[in-house]
């Protein structure tokens, strides 16, 4: 079983939609969770960083961790065409980073 699983998409939504991106993970000991955004041919950019459970909000982005079900989510409100990118979830544990496969998001104008 992989440490973290992510639906690869692609996900296509109209501008202004609420986007929900999700990952599941395998080890309940994991405590540090991240979401990265990666534009084509660029390195990933850290969007959200969360420790343990709960929600964290930053502008139009909300990261949510549900440790009981080992599920992490990223919500994007009022999505914009500039949000079109691949989104990677990541977990830090045992001195390593584990990445999801990435979900490709396309926001249509």
Partner 1 sequence: GAVVSQHPSWVICKSGTSVKIECRSLDFQATTMFWYRQFPKQSLMLMATSNEGSKATYEQGVEKDKFLINHASLTLSTLTVTSAHPEDSSFYICSATSTVQNTEAFFGQGTRLTVV
Q: Are 71 and 78 in contact (CB under 8 A)?
A: no
Nearest residue to 7 via CA among 89, 76, 84: 89
The least CB distance from residue 32 to partner 1, in Å, is 4
Q: Whose Cβ is closer to partner 1: residue 32's or residue 75's?
A: 32
**How many amino acids of this chain bind partner 1 (CB under 8 A)?**
21
- What x-and-dash track marks residues 37-76 binding partner 1 by CB under 8 A? ----xxxxxx--x-x-------------------------
Q: Which stretch binds partner 1 (CB under 8 A): 14-22, 52-60, 63-71, 93-101?
A: 93-101
């Amino acid at each position: 079983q992989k440490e973290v699983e992510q639906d690869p998409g692609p996900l296509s939504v109209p501008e202004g939609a609420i986007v929900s991106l999700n990952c599941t993970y395998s080890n309940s000991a994991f405590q540090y969770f991240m979401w990265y955004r990666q534009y084509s041919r660029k390195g990933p950019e850290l969007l959200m960083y969360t420790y343990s459970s709960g929600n964290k909000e930053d502008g139009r982005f909300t990261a949510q961790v549900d440790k009981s079900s080992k599920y992490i989510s990223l919500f994007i409100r009022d999505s914009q065409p500039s949000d079109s990118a691949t989104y990677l979830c990541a977990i830090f544990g045992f001195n390593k980073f584990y990445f999801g496969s990435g979900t490709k998001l396309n926001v249509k104008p």
